[in-house]
């Protein structure tokens, strides 16, 4: 039986966009400051989860909410399960938007909102794929479980909780990457670099970064002018800003305090070279000023060992694998005040390294008095051979709808696909698309989303029929 998947999607396109508009209107970023026993990650992630499950309840599919941390939508018959793992949480809206990040706007065929591309749009496309298969009453021999997490952008608390309480499939995909398929994901680990407590001097505060997986777009510093001449600082800052066309800066003075801010460009930590790290630029400027030894230690390290070094060469961690590519490094969170001075590094590493080997290498490259330790959990590299039947089925569906014979590839991002023994990331970005995940003015192209829905429906049915 031949099925016109794209025609079936077109019949439901208005409903899909209406559901997506409702879903992206929810600010579902992690909010543990306001957590309760009922909402362990805050209200937003739980609200987005239940809203999504309500779509499935409306359409007659079986659902389960697992303690407001994860959820499941079930379809199909049989003992074997195929997993489709997506997430409803988002990174913060952040600065630089032309519109409110949680007020969806459709313009020029694109839907703009935080989470439109990462990952609410692709997640909903996967759901509509199941909905279409159900409504067409197609026979199946396997079950499909669409499993929704609420903390993918942080510590995967939701999906880890799901695995403790429920049975996780061994095979499947995550609609949280790119077509035709991502069959390899680098390891992901963050390090906290602890510097000695700084003594009183010119710089009283230095801050940048909001998440460990986002290149900081804005960095700010507070200077005590009892330790510096404001005219000299203004002159030096003006020359510095004029030297670099990719950054913007401003300086203001209030009595004996000067406030400096630099704006760069945010980016996903897996591709730090696509961003402009405002923090390392500002630190490079501050390093040119008259700092005491304890402050010089911090800012000179950033300027000389981290600035524009995306491969970690200056820390001795540069590594390239023939299959998975090169290690990338980005310093994403900076805290400097009279109580502590720290830097958080986010590293995406290929096969050949572990958290332990990286810890040893980094510590051996640090100045005296500075130490590095792993922050949070370390995700090991994940790889599935391109000849695996799963990948052949997914890529086959993609090719049949696009005619594009691009091969599966490896990325530095981390998706739920690595949870599954035979798991990959599959769409919904297309080759050559602008990567707007974690950036201001995030959007998803509506026509491409509808095409992805058809691809998902075709691919899922190939796996469960």
Beta pairing, strands 341-349 & 328-336: antiparallel
Give residue-wise pLDDT tens across range 263-283: 999 998 989 999 999 999 999
Q: Which residues are catalytic?
A: 89, 152
Identify the H or E element spanning 23: helix 13-24
Residue partners of 79: CB distance under 8 A and separation at least 6: none
Give me the architecture of the 188-379 domain, per CATH. 2-Layer Sandwich (3.30)
Q: Where in the chain is the domain with CATH 3.30.70.360?
A: 188-379
Task: Pick one of 3.40.50.720, 3.40.50.9100, 3.90.1010.10, 3.40.630.10 as the CATH number of 5-186+382-464.
Answer: 3.40.630.10
Residue 273 DSSP class = G
Q: Per-residue pLDDT for the chain (465 aa), expressed as one digit of tens each? A: 689 999 999 999 999 999 999 999 999 999 999 999 999 999 999 999 999 999 999 999 999 999 999 999 999 999 999 999 999 999 999 889 999 999 999 999 999 999 999 999 999 999 999 999 999 999 999 999 999 999 999 889 999 999 999 999 999 999 999 999 999 999 999 999 999 999 999 999 999 998 888 999 999 999 999 999 999 999 999 999 999 999 999 999 999 999 999 999 999 898 999 999 999 999 999 999 999 999 999 999 999 999 999 999 999 999 999 889 999 999 999 999 999 999 999 999 999 999 999 999 999 999 999 999 999 889 999 999 999 999 999 999 999 999 999 999 998 878 999 999 899 999 999 999 998 998 899 999 999 999 999 999 999 999 999
Q: Is 453 exposed, middle or buried (0-12, 13-18, 19+ CB in 10 A)?
A: buried
**How far is the C-alpha of 122 from the C-alpha of 84, rounded, in Å?**
11
How much of the chain, in percent, has pLDDT values that exceed 90?
A: 91
Interatomic CA distance for residues 115 and 356, integer angstroms: 34
Q: Are 296 and 284 in contact (CB under 8 A)?
A: no
Looking only at the bridges linking them, the beta strands covering 214-215 and 428-429 are: unpaired
Domain with CATH 3.40.630.10 in the chain: 5-186+382-464
Instruction: Write down the pLDDT at residue 331.
Output: 98
Q: List the end-to-end C-alpha distance of the chain, in Å, as a whole number.
A: 12
pLDDT number for residue 1: 65
- E strand intervals along 293-367: 320-321, 325-326, 328-336, 341-349
Q: How far apart are alpha carbons 224 and 266 in whole angstroms?
A: 28
d(CA 288, CA 56): 58
């Amino acid at each position: 039986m031949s099925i016109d998947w794209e025609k079936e999607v077109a019949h439901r396109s208005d409903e899909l966009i209406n559901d997506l508009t409702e879903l992206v209107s929810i600010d579902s970023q992690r909010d543990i400051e306001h957590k309760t026993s009922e909402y362990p990650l805050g209200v937003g992630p739980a609200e987005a989860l239940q809203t999504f499950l309500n779509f499935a309840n409306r359409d007659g599919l079986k659902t389960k909410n697992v303690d407001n941390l994860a959820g499941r939508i079930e379809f199909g018959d049989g003992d074997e399960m195929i997993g489709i793992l997506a997430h409803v949480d988002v990174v913060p809206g952040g600065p630089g938007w032309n519109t409110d990040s949680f007020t969806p706007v459709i313009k020029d065929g694109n839907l703009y909102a935080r989470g439109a591309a990462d990952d609410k749009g692709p997640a909903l496309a996967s759901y509509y794929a199941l909905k279409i298969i159900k409504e067409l009453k197609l026979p199946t021999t396997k079950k499909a479980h669409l499993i929704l997490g609420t903390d993918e952008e942080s510590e995967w608390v939701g999906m880890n909780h799901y695995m403790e309480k429920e049975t996780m499939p061994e095979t499947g995909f995550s609609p949280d990457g790119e077509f035709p398929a991502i069959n390899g994901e680098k390891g992901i680990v963050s390090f906290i670099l602890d510097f000695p407590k700084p003594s009183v001097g010119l710089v009283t505060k230095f801050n940048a970064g909001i998440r460990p997986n986002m290149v900081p777009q804005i960095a700010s510093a507070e200077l005590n002018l009892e330790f510096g001449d404001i005219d000299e600082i203004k002159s030096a800052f003006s020359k510095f800003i004029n030297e670099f066309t990719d950054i913007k800066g401003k300086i203001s003075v209030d009595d004996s305090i000067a406030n400096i801010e630099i704006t760069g460009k945010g980016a996903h930590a897996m591709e730090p070279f696509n961003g402009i790290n405002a923090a390392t630029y500002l630190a490079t400027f501050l390093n040119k000023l008259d700092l005491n030894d304890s402050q010089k230690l911090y800012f000179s390290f950033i300027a000389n060992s981290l600035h524009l070094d995306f491969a970690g060469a200056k820390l001795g961690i540069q590594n390239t694998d023939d299959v998975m590519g090169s290690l990338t490094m980005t310093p994403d969170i900076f805290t400097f005040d009279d109580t502590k001075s720290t830097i958080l590094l986010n590293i995406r590493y290929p096969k050949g390294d572990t958290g332990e080997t990286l810890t040893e290498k980094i510590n051996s490259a640090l100045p005296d008095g500075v130490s590095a330790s792993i922050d949070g959990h370390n995700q090991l590299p994940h790889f599935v051979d391109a000849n695996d039947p799963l990948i052949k089925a997914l890529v086959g569906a993609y090719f049949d709808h696009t005619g594009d014979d691009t091969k599966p590839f490896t990325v530095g991002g981390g998706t739920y696909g690595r949870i599954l023994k035979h798991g990959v990331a599959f769409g919904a970005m297309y080759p050559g698309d602008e990567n707007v995940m974690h950036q201001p003015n995030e959007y998803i192209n509506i026509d491409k989303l509808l095409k992805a829905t058809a691809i998902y429906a075709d691919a899922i049915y190939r796996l469960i029929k």
